[in-house]
């Protein structure tokens, strides 16, 4: 019985000290977070599908694979470099768009979880749904750009482009 009482006498002060330290650190953390939020002056831009649609004109488009086959049949074999550059650019653009939307989804989910206000959560939920739709479209576009790039590789090989030249045309992506 005496060892139990001694044990409680030793544990109780240590436990209360740990509680005070935790409370002080929570208070300190809350104070620092308020200061950090107060110091942020720049407004964060959230990308929406409308923003992506507005950027459509700023991004170059690829030449259709059928058109590229016709131009190569006419004896313009020097166009392979331009076709591969264009296809690589389209693929990189589609992949970048996909990454931006994935990051936006993560950001919006984080914002949704941080909010306790139901109205704000509903607004963020609408943005999440719009971003999810854009994400699906972007995934399809990325797959289509990848397929077009692979199809261009096959057409170049079928047109007689040597494997070494084909590797040079493909660059780092081979």
| Cα 96 to chain centroid, rounded | 7
Cβ neighbors of 93 (< 8 A, separation 6 or more) are 59, 60, 145
Q: Are 88 and 149 a contacting pair, CB within 8 Å? A: yes
Residue range 71-114, pLDDT digits in tens = 444 444 558 888 888 888 999 999 999 999 999 989 988 988 88
Nearest 5 degrees, angle CA 131-CA 65-CA 97? 20
Confidence of residue 166 (pLDDT cuts 50, 70, 90): confident
The span from the CA of 155 to the CA of 149, in Å, is: 10
* Cα gap 28→35, rounded to integer Å: 11
Q: What is the pLDDT of residue 116?
A: 83
């Amino acid at each position: 019985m005496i060892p139990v009482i001694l044990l409680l006498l030793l544990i109780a002060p240590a436990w209360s000290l740990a509680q005070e330290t935790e409370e002080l650190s929570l208070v300190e953390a809350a104070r620092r977070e308020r200061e950090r939020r107060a110091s942020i002056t720049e407004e964060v831009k959230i990308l929406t599908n409308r923003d992506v649609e507005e950027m459509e004109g700023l991004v170059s488009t690829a030449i259709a694979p059928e058109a590229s086959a016709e131009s190569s049949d006419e004896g313009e074999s020097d166009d392979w470099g331009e076709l591969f550059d264009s296809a690589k650019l389209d693929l990189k653009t589609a992949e970048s768009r996909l990454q931006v939307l994935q990051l936006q989804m993560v950001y919006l989910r984080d914002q949704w979880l941080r909010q306790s206000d139901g109205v704000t959560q509903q607004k963020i939920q609408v943005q999440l749904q719009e971003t999810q739709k854009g994400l699906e479209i972007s995934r399809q576009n990325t797959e289509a750009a990848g397929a077009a790039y692979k199809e261009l590789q096959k057409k170049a090989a079928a047109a007689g482009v040597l494997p070494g030249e084909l590797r040079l045309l493909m660059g780092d992506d081979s």
